[in-house]
């Protein structure tokens, strides 16, 4: 037995289990220990016990549901204190004694009460002496017969007449889509109305915006580039000619250009036949952009002893190269930007999309304001090509034109967005009637209709002037199986499957059923461990 103290936590208990080498693990917990009410901690203890038999010994019964759900054996302490406690809470007995223990306890308890009563009553005591003198043998025989008959009747009643099984199930919730086709028509008159048609109304909103954009093109002539002298080295045995405007690069692919035509004599050999490279000075200038087309900025300023190579001479890339003799630090941020056609074109495309997205937000706000004022529930007709844009106009600010040397420029524009709205509440009410009529299985039960999921999903046909659309409206419905429906064949099938099975086996079968989310099984009387074999005594109850 492992004694658990009030201060022991889950780590201490696991350590004690590891140190305990006996086959059966009996954990003696004090009353109200927090571990007994923590399902996760009890799972850890059970997993740690592995195949060894685990029994929890405690006087705390409040957490027995957790123990039962985890299939952990437990035993309540049966001492004098427990017997005294029985007078206050008789239900403790049936959860901790076997049937015969309980019967023996009741008989002894009844016998003690009779003796106590006789001792207090002299007349009854005198009668008892007289009765015992003349009828002792006769009465004892009858007593044993009646006791035997009572036990047989008790067992028969408990096993065949009173044995009932209560199955508490939580149904599995299934999400289903329900849809119906509706005819939506633009309402042009309030005189004629048709209940089979859902009328839509046109709304419009004009939006004006101003937005500032950055110029991206650089005036190359305004730049002051880095220029310096570098030394060309030739480690080949041939003379090399480097043309003017030859591009050279650093290891990071920063690009520079030679400013003159250069001849580099061949390298010579020393006494050990090693090539001594020849070198020649040449002026270089930084390019505006690197190999990726990014503006180089202050990256032009490379340090002394930086190695430059000619990227397109792969054969001699390590034998013909330049070495920078001094730091390049002439670069200054003196460049200017030029407004180009590309800048204006890109900005106009961005501005057009910004106008459309703003117009949609304004239309939504307009619908929301109307609902608040009129206490209605209208919504924008959300299918493709139902929002149209007109009177689109995008202009640059006066005085701004292509070729202007500016860092930023401003565009202003306006657009009119138009669409249609429909009565959302009316569509939902009509869909609810469809949902109720479409449940063909009477065993299906509607839990919740998600009105926020309403959508117009498919357009069947569309006609203009006046606008008429036939489209499909869909909504999500939460449905569960109705286990309480009368003459439910599915419930009868479950009863036939689990009857006369062990509680644990029946629990596993029901929990794996696709229509059940959770299950709890209670069998009466308490000492019977199997499901009733009579269908009428297996009672299903729903826990929401």
Question: pLDDT (tens digit, 9 = 90+) per residue, 201-229?
Answer: 999 999 999 999 988 776 666 666 667 78
- Rounded CA-CA distance 489/427 in Å is 35
The pLDDT, as a whole number, for residue 33 is 85
The pLDDT, as a whole number, for residue 464 is 85
Find the largest Cα–Cα distance for the chain: 148
Q: Which of 29-43, 180-194, 258-272, 414-428 has the highest mean pLDDT?
A: 414-428
- Rounded CA-CA distance 184/202 in Å is 12
Q: Are 323 and 302 in contact (CB under 8 A)?
A: no
* 429-453 residue pLDDT tens: 988 888 877 654 567 888 889 999 9
Q: Give the closest residue to 72 by CA, choosing from 21, 19, 35.
A: 35
The pLDDT, as a whole number, for residue 93 is 45
- Rounded CA-CA distance 91/525 in Å is 12
Average pLDDT, the chain: 80
Position 130 pLDDT exceeds 50: no
Q: Which of 26-35, 194-203, 237-246, 505-514 has the highest mean pLDDT?
A: 505-514
Position 376 pLDDT exceeds 80: yes
Higher pLDDT, 217 or 88: 217
Position 355 pLDDT exceeds 90: yes
Position 193 pLDDT exceeds 60: yes
Position 190 pLDDT exceeds 90: no
Residues in the chain: 544
- How many degrees, rounded to 5, is the angle at CA 518 between CA 43 and CA 34? 30
Position 114 pLDDT exceeds 70: no
pTM of the model: 0.51
Q: How confident is the model at residue 329 (pLDDT cuts 50, 70, 90)?
A: low
The pLDDT, as a whole number, for residue 36 is 83
- Rounded CA-CA distance 45/9 in Å is 11
* 21-79 residue pLDDT tens: 888 888 888 877 888 888 878 888 888 887 788 888 777 767 766 766 777 776 665 44
- Rounded CA-CA distance 470/180 in Å is 10
The pLDDT, as a whole number, for residue 192 is 58
- Rounded CA-CA distance 221/228 in Å is 19
Radius of gyration of the chain measured on its C-alpha atoms: 47
The pLDDT, as a whole number, for residue 92 is 43
Q: What is the arithmetic mean of pLDDT over 134-161?
A: 64
Backbone angles phi, psi at 366, to 5 degrees: -65, -45
The pLDDT, as a whole number, for residue 94 is 45
Position 137 pLDDT exceeds 60: no
Backbone angles phi, psi at 60, to 5 degrees: -100, 115
Q: What is the arithmetic mean of pLDDT over 296-317?
A: 79
Position 187 pLDDT exceeds 70: yes
The residues, ordered by sequence, that sit 6+ positions from 264 with a Cβ below 8 Å of its Cβ are: 232, 233, 234, 239, 240, 241, 242, 278, 279, 280, 320
Position 86 pLDDT exceeds 70: no
The pLDDT, as a whole number, for residue 406 is 84
Q: Are 450 and 405 in contact (CB under 8 A)?
A: no
Position 154 pLDDT exceeds 80: no
Position 540 pLDDT exceeds 80: yes
């Amino acid at each position: 037995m492992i004694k658990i103290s009030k201060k022991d936590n889950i780590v201490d208990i696991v350590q004690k289990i590891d140190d305990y080498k006996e086959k059966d693990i009996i954990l003696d917990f004090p009353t109200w220990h927090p571990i007994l009410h923590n399902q996760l901690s009890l799972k850890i203890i059970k997993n740690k016990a592995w195949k060894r038999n685990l029994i929890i010994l405690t006087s705390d019964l409040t957490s027995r549901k957790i123990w039962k759900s985890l299939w952990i054996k437990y035993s309540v302490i049966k001492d004098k204190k427990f017997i005294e406690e029985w007078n206050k809470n008789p239900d403790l007995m049936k959860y901790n004694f076997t049937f015969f223990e309980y019967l023996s306890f009741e008989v002894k308890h009844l016998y003690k009460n009779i003796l106590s009563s006789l001792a207090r009553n002299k007349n009854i005591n005198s009668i008892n002496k007289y009765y015992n003198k003349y009828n002792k043998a006769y009465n004892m025989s009858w007593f044993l017969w009646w006791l035997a008959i009572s036990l047989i009747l008790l067992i028969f009643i408990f096993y065949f007449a009173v044995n009932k099984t209560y199955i508490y199930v939580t149904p599995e919730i299934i999400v289903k889509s329900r849809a119906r086709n509706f005819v939506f028509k633009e309402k042009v008159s309030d005189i004629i109305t048709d209940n089979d048609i859902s009328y839509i109304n046109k709304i419009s909103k004009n939006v004006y915006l101003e937005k500032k954009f950055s110029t991206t093109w650089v005036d190359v002539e305004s730049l002051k580039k880095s220029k310096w002298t570098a030394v060309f080295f030739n480690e080949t045995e041939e003379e090399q000619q480097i043309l003017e405007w030859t591009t050279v690069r650093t290891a990071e692919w920063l690009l520079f250009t030679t400013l003159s035509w250069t001849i580099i004599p061949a390298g010579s050999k020393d006494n050990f036949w090693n090539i001594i490279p020849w070198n020649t000075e040449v002026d270089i200038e930084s390019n505006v952009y690197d190999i990726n087309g990014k503006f180089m900025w202050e990256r032009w300023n490379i340090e002394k002893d930086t190695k430059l190579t000619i990227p397109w001479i792969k054969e001699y890339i390590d034998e013909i190269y330049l070495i920078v003799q001094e730091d390049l630090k002439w670069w200054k941020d003196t460049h200017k930007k030029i407004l180009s056609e590309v800048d204006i074109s890109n900005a106009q495309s961005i501005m057009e999309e910004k106008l459309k997205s703003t117009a949609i937000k304004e239309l939504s706000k307009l619908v929301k304001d109307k609902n608040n004022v009129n206490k209605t529930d209208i919504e924008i007709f959300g299918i493709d090509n139902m929002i149209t844009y007109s009177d689109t106009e995008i202009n640059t600010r006066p005085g701004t034109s292509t070729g202007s040397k500016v860092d930023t420029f401003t565009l202003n524009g306006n657009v009119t967005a138009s669409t249609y709205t429909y009565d959302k509440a009316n569509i939902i009410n009509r869909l609810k009637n469809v949902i109720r009529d479409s449940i063909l299985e009477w065993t299906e039960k509607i839990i919740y209709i998600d009105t926020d999921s309403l959508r117009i999903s498919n357009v069947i046909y569309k006609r203009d002037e006046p606008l008429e659309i036939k489209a499909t409206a869909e909504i999500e419905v939460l449905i569960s199986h109705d286990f309480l429906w009368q003459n439910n064949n599915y419930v009868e099938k479950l009863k036939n499957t689990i009857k006369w099975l062990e509680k644990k086996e029946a629990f596993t079968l029901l929990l794996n059923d696709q229509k059940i989310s959770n299950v709890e099984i209670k069998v009466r009387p308490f000492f019977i461990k199997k499901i009733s074999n009579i269908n009428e005594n297996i009672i299903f109850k729903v826990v929401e």
